[in-house]
Amino acid sequence: MAELKLMKGNEAFGEALIREGVDGYFGYPITPQSEVIEYLMTELTHERTGMVTLQAESEIAAINMVYGAAASGKKSATSSSSPGISLKQEGISYLAGAELPCLMLNVVRGGPGLGTIQPSQADYFQATKGGGHGDYHMYVLAPASVQEMADFVEDGFDIAYKYKTPVMLLSDGVIGQMMEKVMIKEQKPRLTDQEIHEKHGDWATIGRIGGRERNIITSLYLKSDQMEEHNQKLQAKYKKMEEDDCRWEEIQTEDADYIIVAYGSSARISQKTIQLAREKGIKLGVLRPITLFPFPKKPISELANRVKGFLAVEMSAGQLVEDVRLTVNGKVKVEHFGRNGGIIPSPVEVLEAIEKLIKE
């Protein structure tokens, strides 16, 4: 049964994993997302649904456990925060190369290095441009509420299986830690072994049932023509994602002269700025990318034909802004406003940045 609950973002994500019928979660503690594994352990997932929750010896081990389970047709997930996600990069590249579906959550904290445990959005490049080695992308969803921390679990797995690709939720310490009302979906049953054979038996490594030909999971292509062909296949997949599964939200953009592009908690803050701006007679709207990869190029370039300027607002020194600039392609000005180090921008600061943009 669906239920309305008051939960932290991290807990909502954990509960959503259970209700999604996930088979295995593998993680390693790191602030500000340790609540995910703590929640799953406390919930005794194995007793509730048969879902395995395992604390790995490192993020490297955790992502490789995800790889093993995913390659065997099991729904698997992991979560971490920035330094831990850095450690996972080789594994994510292998998952993308071997075309394995799985879900990962990054509750971003400030960096570089050990940085800070405070919220940040400084892992945008890492998440959207590949992060690990090779020409690949993850499908990246950016939740802006506790509700989306839960909802994007199902959406993320749907995409992961549709494209056989790793999917990341790029969240941050604000969304992970804050408590909000959240409608949790009803429990989905985990796939039975038989259902896994039926659904994934043509590619997953689950033993040569019925004497079928062997299945192989690999990302190795020693012959250059085959490696190129594989890369082209991946690129075609990313193109299709852009055509069919790009998501965004437009808030008061219809009559807007200026547009803030912001995702996650920055989008929440910017919504307040719309109100402040409109009280002053500035027609401001927000375009919130829901998928960061694929990036909502279409609506942004359409807006660029009729607005006077864009402001990218993000908790980083300027990462999202590069994609906005590439998309707007010089048609109108694009400026950046960011705080970092764990400082959350205030709606008033954002308004000041808009006023500066208008003046310049």
What residues make contact with other proteins under the rule CB under 8 A?
23-24, 26, 52, 54, 56-58, 60-62, 64-72, 74, 76, 90-91, 94, 98, 193, 205-211, 214-220
With CA atoms as reference, report the closest residue to 351 among 224, 220, 255, 260: 260
Q: How far is the CB of 87 from other proteins (least distance, A)?
A: 11
Within 10 angstroms of residue 214's Cβ, the number of other Cβ atoms is 7
In angstroms, rounded to a whole number, what is the distance separating the alpha carbons of residues 239 and 232?
10
Burial class (CB in 10 A: 0-12, 13-18, 19+), 49: buried
Closest to other proteins by CB, 53 vs 106, is 53
Bridge partners (DSSP) listed for residue 120: none
Closest to other proteins by CB, 80 vs 118, is 80
Q: How far is the CB of 207 from other proteins (least distance, A)?
A: 5
Q: Using CA of residue 289, residue 293, residue 299, residue 305, what is the dihedral sign?
A: positive
Asked if residue 254 lies in contact with residue 286, where contact means CB atoms within 8 angstroms, the answer is no
Q: How far is the CB of 227 from other proteins (least distance, A)?
A: 14
Closest to other proteins by CB, 62 vs 246, is 62
Closest to other proteins by CB, 219 vs 271, is 219
Q: How far is the CB of 65 from other proteins (least distance, A)?
A: 4
Q: Using CA of residue 310, residue 311, residue 314, residue 319, what is the dihedral sign?
A: positive
Closest to other proteins by CB, 48 vs 208, is 208
β-bridge pairing 309-314 and 258-261:
parallel
DSSP states of 223-252: SHHHHHHHHHHHHHHHHHHHHHS--EEEES
In angstroms, rounded to a whole number, what is the distance separating the alpha carbons of residues 306 and 289?
19
State yes or no: cis peptide before 29, omega within 30 of 0: no
Provide φ and ψ at 156, rounded to 5°.
Answer: -65, -45
DSSP states of 84-116: HHHHHHHHHHHHHHTT--EEEEEEEB--STT--
Provide φ and ψ at 153, rounded to 5°.
Answer: -65, -50
Q: How far is the CB of 214 from other proteins (least distance, A)?
A: 5
Q: How far is the CB of 119 from other proteins (least distance, A)?
A: 30
In angstroms, rounded to a whole number, what is the distance separating the alpha carbons of residues 83 and 63?
14
Closest to other proteins by CB, 197 vs 339, is 197
Closest to other proteins by CB, 64 vs 270, is 64
Q: How far is the CB of 68 from other proteins (least distance, A)?
A: 3
Q: How far is the CB of 51 from other proteins (least distance, A)?
A: 9
Closest to other proteins by CB, 90 vs 245, is 90
Q: How far is the CB of 195 from other proteins (least distance, A)?
A: 14
Closest to other proteins by CB, 102 vs 354, is 102
Provide φ and ψ at 103, rounded to 5°.
Answer: -125, 135
State yes or no: cis peptide before 296, omega within 30 of 0: no
